[in-house]
Amino acid sequence: MVLLGFGLKNTTMNLIIDAGNTLIKYFIFKNDEIIHTHQTPSKEEITFKPIFNQFPSIKNIILSSVSTLNTQIPSEIEELLKTYIILDHTTQLPIKNNYNSKATLGKDRIAAVVGANNIFPHNNVLVVDAGTAITFPC
């Protein structure tokens, strides 16, 4: 299986960061299982070093941010990674994005649809994203 449909194999630890309007949420996956979560207020900066100190086996990161946070990874951590994906409208996806203005489609909505596609492949799925605003991509 591929983590969240983004092509990250489950043989290594994966860090998923969802930086929303209110919270920055961190999820560490191993073998399709969340083994650790952490959250901080969105007004704070994304911090990689404490996470990598606790989980040095992380090899892949996907970051989805609805704001303009500093997403720079310290060079000593970047050297350890196989993959670092900053999710946006140009990210290669396992779905076709038919949204008229792809650059304005929320990254949280893209992630939700890709996740649903991974959980229910080859099925029609309605995805409702209940964050700060409740939305459903059409």
18, 32, 88, 108: the catalytic one is 108
The letter for the amino acid at 9 is K
The letter for the amino acid at 125 is V
Whether residue 28 contacts residue 48, with contact meaning beta carbons closer than 8 Å, is answered with: no
Q: Is 18 a catalytic residue?
A: no
- What CA–CA distance (Å, rounded) separates 88 from 111? 9
**Residue 111, H or E segment:** helix 107-119
Q: Which residues pair with 79 in a beta bridge?
A: none
* Three-class secondary structure of residue 18 per DSSP: strand
| Phi-psi region at 7: left, alpha or beta (left = phi > 0; alpha = psi -120 to 50) | left
Q: Which residues pair with 58 in a beta bridge?
A: 13
Catalytic positions, please? 108
